[in-house]
Structure 1
Amino acid sequence: MAVSLDEALERLERSLGQLEAAVTRRLEAERSRADLETELQIMQDDRARLAVDLESASVRLEALEATTRDVEGRVGRALAAVRGVLDDAGVAPHL
């Protein structure tokens, strides 16, 4: 069975179309992969930045808690001193 030139050209065109479609799919897959890798890198950078921010916030929180304890102690001592003075003066404290 002899294949005509027109049939051979049609088959060649179909094959080239399929090859072109496969190349397009491959390029899309590569682009998608590159996009995912870029997105992953961005998320890793964000995670690292957030970890640094969290550590900084934790340090500030510890300092604030220490300051709060110090202030509470000073206020407590001041109240005790005022009560002592009032007691020595015979005045009933309203504190």
Structure 2
Amino acid sequence: MQIYFSPEIITPEYQVLNVVDSDQKAVGNVAFLFAEKKLYVYGILEEEGVSADFKDLVTPYLKGLAKANEGVDILSCLYIGCKKITLNDEKEQKS
């Protein structure tokens, strides 16, 4: 199953994106909150079978946001089903 982002709300302070399948059925969502030099990312996907696709969708999007906001610390919490995932090259800092 292929998945895509479908913007729900986009403002300078935050973004809420639905994750939809090829039939435009919502299968999850991702929220990005910009706060000074921090980028908070929270996402959940219902379908466990597309975890690689979810990572492939989120990773370049995060890289693009990091380029647009140079020096930003990315703090993320991503779930597929009930399992927390991490992105291979994500840089997280604990406060």
What band does the TM-score fall into relative to the shorter chain?
A: under 0.3
Q: Which has the larger radius of gyration?
A: 1
Structure number having the greater helix percentage: 1
Structure number having the greater strand percentage: 2
In the superposition, the TM-score normalised over structure 2's length comes to: 0.23
In the superposition, the TM-score normalised over structure 1's length comes to: 0.23
